[in-house]
Copies of this chain bind each other. A is one copy, B any other.
Amino acid sequence: MLQTINQILSKEKKLAIGLMSGTSLDGIDVAVLEISHSNSEMDIQLIAFETIPYTQQEKQDILQLCQPSTSTVDKICAWNVKLGHKFAKAATKVVTNAGMDISQIDFVGSHGQTIYHSPDEQATLQIGELAVIAEETGVLTVGDFRPSDMAVGGQGAPLVPFVDYLLFASEEKNRVLLNIGGISNISVLPKKAQPDEIIAFDTGPGNVLLDAIVRIVTEGEKRYDEGGSLASGGRVSQDWLTKMMREDSYLDQDIPKSTGREYYTTQKAQSLYEEGRTQGLSDPDIIATISAYTAHSIADQLYRFVEPVCQIDEIIVSGGGAHNGFILRELEKTTKIQVQIMEDLGFSSDAKEAVAFAVLGYQFLHGLPNTLPSATGARRQVSMGKLAFPLKKSSF
């Protein structure tokens, strides 16, 4: 194992795979990248990125694992292995599609699939067995990051701000990195910031409510509002928007904080949709207002928690929401801050989270910290992760 790690670290450029599957359960994000140097000098180059989608059946089965009422130990165990195989296959496929061979890869950093996250109990569970990924790909695998931060009192989230800090902190600008996934989260990177100056937290809903309502409205035909086109055909109900914002107690919570599907549930989306209909709103109006809810809750959180300490120069958006023009326009209109997408900086929005978990794994292999206690609320920095390695040959 030591030999393997030493070999990896002695290379100037390391080939890595980052694997991520978010709460939106769209599929497995696979990033293939080249990494060199570490800490703030880190340099990355994206080689390939694909999302290997889950089938509807898989999505439903995994959702069952996330609910205490339908989750059972046998199903959790079986899916841990099943997803391990699926992650390994996804990694191999994307590497092959990129004209490379899996044996060229130095290491895998895998987030896994979160099926439970409860910071109050310091409890979290990401499945997708690391031993299966390591043995099936033949590549050293680092993953299961969140429990390490929780072990020192952190919320185990958000983790990406550390990577935002390494890759995007600027000498000249106060930047906000905004990721609109199922949930929206931000990393505030004041210019010339030290690690303990980074503010990061989940701002509230991303696409989680919106996607659920799009599925209701289109009777399952569409899974999300592509480009924000459905929202653009409607009108935002200011009254209802104000009411939703007021009733969202997460927005009032102090930072650092994190949230998830446990709060922004499918049932919540369902009852919001019904509420909209009761108020006589059309489907496009409902979708527009729910989209505005995402943008305005982000603006609200910036106003409450960020502006008092740091005047923002620009917002850089990644995640599925970066493709939703309606949300981006609402955000710019409300915040009066320049909104860019990650592509404007030469990075891939879609690949960002998968890349991040390769970066966390890379720091782990160097024995370096890979957390920001200012973001997670942990008592101290740790080097999150667990390592599984495939035995190349029996030496026995």
Contact surface of A with B, Cβ cutoff 8 Å: 1-6, 9, 39, 65-69, 71-78, 80-81, 84, 115-116, 118, 121-125, 129-132, 134-136, 144, 147-148, 150-152, 195, 364-369, 380-391, 394-396
Cβ of A81 to closest chain B Cβ, rounded Å: 5
Copies of this chain assembled into the complex = 2
Q: Is the CB of A367 within 8 A of B2?
A: yes
The list of the 5 closest CB pairs from A to B, nearest first, reads: A77-B123, A1-B367, A71-B73, A135-B151, A131-B148
Q: Is the CB of B123 within 8 A of A135?
A: no
Q: Is the CB of A151 within 8 A of B136?
A: yes
Q: Is the CB of A382 within 8 A of B391?
A: yes
Contacts of A1 in B (CB 8 A): 5, 364-367, 383
Q: A73-B68, A123-B78, A125-B77 are in contact. Are A385 and B382 (CB under 8 A)?
A: no
Closest Cβ neighbor of A389 among chain B residues: B383
Contacts of A75 in B (CB 8 A): 68
Closest Cβ neighbor of A122 among chain B residues: B81
Contacts of A2 in B (CB 8 A): 2, 5-6, 9, 367
Give the distance in Å from the alpha carbon of A77 to the alpha carbon of B124 in the complex.
6
Closest Cβ neighbor of A123 among chain B residues: B77
Q: Is the CB of A68 within 8 A of B72?
A: yes
Q: Is the CB of B73 within 8 A of A115?
A: yes
User: 16 A–B contact pairs at CB < 8 A?
Assistant: A1-B5, A1-B364, A1-B367, A4-B367, A71-B72, A74-B123, A78-B118, A78-B123, A131-B148, A131-B151, A131-B384, A132-B151, A136-B151, A368-B396, A369-B394, A383-B391
Contacts of A366 in B (CB 8 A): 1
Cβ of A183 to closest chain B Cβ, rounded Å: 19
Q: A73-B115, A78-B123, A129-B151 are in contact. Are A391 and B369 (CB under 8 A)?
A: yes
Q: Is the CB of A388 within 8 A of B148?
A: yes
Q: Is the CB of A391 within 8 A of B386?
A: no
Closest Cβ neighbor of A146 among chain B residues: B131
Q: Is the CB of A77 within 8 A of B116?
A: yes
Q: Is the CB of B6 within 8 A of A396?
A: no
Closest Cβ neighbor of A77 among chain B residues: B123
Cβ of A378 to closest chain B Cβ, rounded Å: 10
Cβ of A56 to closest chain B Cβ, rounded Å: 21
Cβ of A251 to closest chain B Cβ, rounded Å: 25
Contacts of A148 in B (CB 8 A): 131, 134-135, 388
Contacts of A195 in B (CB 8 A): 396
